[in-house]
Structure 1
């Protein structure tokens, strides 16, 4: 039997913009109550919460917190539980990177690598640990979903640290979490959790390609063109002329909604865990 989302309590980190914001609306449309985590976009988060609550007649709350700080992750989970009255689903969506020349080893310093690791990998671990007692106490368990990236399985992306840390999510899922094997870390993190944390919690990840959200539009046009030409579906330029604006590309680019829809699918599917679903390539 599918896992109904009606009446579920959902926490979405990085929920005020882009894929996070669209996921907020998708889950609200299913009847879920939503805790929207944001780091700095308070007004954007509050407007989204107000609009969604009014449109779908669900409860929404906003919670400030930096995914790169352990205590903020813990506090965010506890606040969501307190304000919503429980917690059933977490979408670990917050991420961080810099847009660099991918092969330039000097483009990001140690602080950048540490921030990438903290936000893209450790935040999922902190969120999961904080929520696990509640998930295990729920009659229907819990769902933990991660936004990883195609950059985690291919040598590409906005920066080398981003690709390495997004790969880290995969290590988590399978139970292989070797610090010296960081090339597979975020995706493996998901698999480790799925295989080691019991039958009541389903853990999965999606691996998007380049999403032309507000963040994706920061990429130089030549990087967007290069990425698009390297993909099989070439979705970023479908229905657009070669001179289309980045805004037009985002409108015709289906991956953002496809990713949000996949979160819904994974949340509902009671038989899947430990899976990394690649979207677009």
Structure 2
């Protein structure tokens, strides 16, 4: 995979995705906002695999920052073939409490989970269409978008909207651009471990395979979607059978 990938978000799953793409020979640009040290460490690990790895600072709750990050990535890598929109936003809250998140938090969730992926593709589109083999956008969705639960109601609603965004973009932005999403289940990451232990135990027991979503299994889905030239508008659910009934 002699391509230039752009990774959004570096902690947890983002690190595994970055290293997986680097192992495939892809150059990577790694996004961070407040914490540069983890981004630099992941970039160094990627560089050890013989690829070019750079970092790009941007707030992925801002469409203007998203646009700038694409422009900076193209400048640093000399091109762009793949965008992995791995960032998102939520705040853990009582799902049933309609006052749990205020209006600015709902707006922030909408911006991060819907507006920014749209802005990333809009910024990357001219480069993608100029590439001989086009370009790829893959977002990190969530099974929360297929169910009625999760870290917050705003998160579930906006992740559902992201699924519809992917379908609309895929329908209208071909044939040179492919757009898909990966829907993980429970991931044992810094973020996922914010759930109470009893919730984690319940979720794992509920999964048909009786284990969490393994990070490498999830990252492998991104690699597959980046390579598969016959898939667009698709959601690939990698959740150990936690939400089989999801539509």
TM range (shorter): over 0.9
Instruction: Name which of 11, 17, 21 aligns with 2:6.
Output: 11
* Structure 1 unmatched runs, 5+: 169-185, 237-253
Aligned pairs, how many? 240
User: Which residue of structure 2 lines up, in the alignment, with residue 255 of structure 1?
Assistant: 214
TM-score, normalised by the number of residues in structure 2 = 0.95
Instruction: Name which of 187, 190, 194 aligns with 1:218.
Output: 194
Per-residue CA deviations over 1:145-168 (Å, capped at 9, x if unaligned) read: 010000001001111000000111
Instruction: Name which of 4, 8, 14 aligns with 1:20.
Output: 14
Structure 1 stretches (4+) deviating beyond 6 angstroms? none
Pick which of 112-121 and 219-228 moved more.
219-228
Q: CA deviation at 1:257?
A: 1.2
* 2:27 matches 1:33: yes
Q: CA deviation at 1:271?
A: 0.6
Cα separation, 1, equivalents of 2:105 and 2:67: 23
Mapped contact 1:208–1:255 kept (Cα < 8 A): no
Per-residue CA deviations over 1:31-80 (Å, capped at 9, x if unaligned) read: 000000111110110121112102x1100110000111111100100001
* 2:9 matches 1:50: no
Pick which of 115-124 and 218-227 moved more.
218-227
* Structure 2 unmatched runs, 5+: 243-247
Alignment of 1:144-159 (within 5 A): 144-159=137-152
Cα separation, 1, equivalents of 2:214 and 2:164: 23
Q: CA deviation at 1:85?
A: 0.3
TM-score, normalised by the number of residues in structure 1 = 0.84
Alignment RMSD, CA only?
1.0
User: Which secondary structure does the structure 1 equivalent of 2:37 belong to?
Assistant: helix
Instruction: Name which of 96, 115, 131 aligns with 2:108.
Output: 115
Cα separation, 2, equivalents of 1:26 and 1:163: 28
Cα separation, 2, equivalents of 1:193 and 1:276: 13
Q: CA deviation at 1:255?
A: 2.5
User: Which secondary structure does the structure 2 equivalent of 1:207 belong to?
Assistant: strand
